[in-house]
Structure 1
């Protein structure tokens, strides 16, 4: 079953399938037409050859009858002529004006006399498993019509040879068509390989490597080479735009962070010392401080993403024991949240190589995300285990995420519930940062979720033995 699952399904809409089918149909039609024409031509050639023999006999027969008639009666002359011309392959019989047989070959088959509507044009019939070419011609002696002479030639051997040749030709045509289709399919597959390579390049290229892409198809057709060059130029332009965008984002985030931090500090100082402020003024200052802090956090997140995109994020990788690090992270999380966080360790002393601070950022972000979207009376469970890699699972019992939206949760600024994210102060960048950090440290992150049944975020890192 495993091998069957690996077989590629045929894409009936693909260019390769359409070209192969089109050429195969044309090849079949062309070779089939040639084979049919050869069949028809050989059949006609066989009949024409025997027709010439019949015509030769028909021209000679009256002359021989006239010679014999000078010595014997007309009927005897016809019989002697038939006897001289007959053999096991050529049979003759003669019918007078009254449609009575008055002379025939000694090897005559009675069934032949029952055949009606014979004309001077030869036709093939099957009699006693033999093929006969039969025709009837009017016989004139001394320019006087005396009856009809019928000629039957046994062409069984020729017909068997003809049938054998036709079968051989049919088999050869089918084999030639099959070989041609396979050769054409391979040639089309090989010719379309550059297009497949272009698709793979376009599919696997990352945003930060757009300017480094190189598509070289020196031996490809000129049309494919032109397409590759055009795509390469387009990717380079996109890379330049991406770089400019990231640079702008980094500069703006960096420049705005400092003044906003100062503004937040002044607002908090004013709020602490504002004994003479009214309740409305204090509420307004509290909102301003909250929004300023939220904007500063957003700028911090944007800076982290910009560094990750540019490959400038600093990582101090070291070997750590995940079990100890997770306990420390849980203690940090519970300082700010009154929520039970349970640690389930299925394996002890799991070692991985990560940046401890960035690893804490990843886990705290996922724990914070689980707490925000879970009811207050539910626990957060963290499961540690290892198989071929170290696995950290963070389980919540929250609102869950519909299957159709799960692939988008790691997108920047994407929120499953816009209103709820706004209330909790989310920026829509937390999971995007988590994924960037996990990927940078050679890890993977996955999500399993069901609406109203909670979510499981699974982070995996290479295991250190």
Structure 2
């Protein structure tokens, strides 16, 4: 805008210069000493505020009334210094303000200087700037209000997600079963939006925390149950030993061998229980087992032969590959796992039940112990590998051991980066040990 208005002002200057150079030099009444002596009158047809300096005459300025009074000496001196190059220049004249002036030489060598005030240009630019500032401030204020509204509206889902997080922090999670906590609503879990991604991530985090807390609670319950079961199992032989010791002291019987045999039997039972619990504790602590090449074929054949010697009336069969199957692990612990499965099958099936042991090799090495007995109670299947789980809940000696055999099998398999599983139905029960191939 400044360039546009300045160009228009320069055009007016050029027109004023032409009129000044064409104007006839007539005098305005009076003598040489009068107030109007020696001055041409360039005011006719010129713009108000035009300053004209012509050769041989003092400079004049056109007023609103059309008159052309003289300009000050200081202003005339400044105008005389303007280069007559035919180009417009900006100059500040004392008592007159900012001017746009043009100086040219006429064909006869005379210098003409004309000037127009810049007030209109400066006032217009100043007004435009003020309007721009005001409109910009208004636009900023409107944008701030609209932006605040839009941001609050767009962030409302995020506040809802934060409210869900605060609600979770207010829940008692330090102890006990956690169960299902609150969740971010489905409409705030759209993965295509940023807020939806936050909501979905928070739901996944809450689910993970729930699983961890439930696992912690379950572990605490298992520890409590383990302590209760272990105390119960240890109390029975201790009570027996104490009872026989008191009986021997009170009666003074002459046959201590029978009493000592009973004490030794109960002490051996306690020793076995304690050793099993210590082994479970070491395996749970992540202690690495001995890792050496183990001939699994020979190990299984020996375990079946040992079981056949103990339970002669039962039919024992095994099916192993022609080539030895070698795995890496602790031979003693692997033998214990296989023996526990064979003992479990022998103890919980009728004598006429056949037990078959099979080794198969594909992507993994599998040892299957199959029987055609009545099967595992469906209520026990989910917990068959947990500690102190027994088919007979009466906890009598006739029901078998302390209920640690299957949990030891599971722990030994996990220590070997394998697994233990069971599939059972009446007449078809299979316990499977899975080991990685070397």
Q: TM-score range by the shorter chain?
A: 0.3 to 0.5
Instruction: State TM-score, norm by structure 1.
Output: 0.44
Instruction: State TM-score, norm by structure 2.
Output: 0.47
The one of the two structures with greater contact order (alpha-carbon pairs below 8 A, sep at least 6) is 1
Name the structure where helix makes up a greater proportion of residues: 1
> Whose radius of gyration is greater, 1 or 2?
2
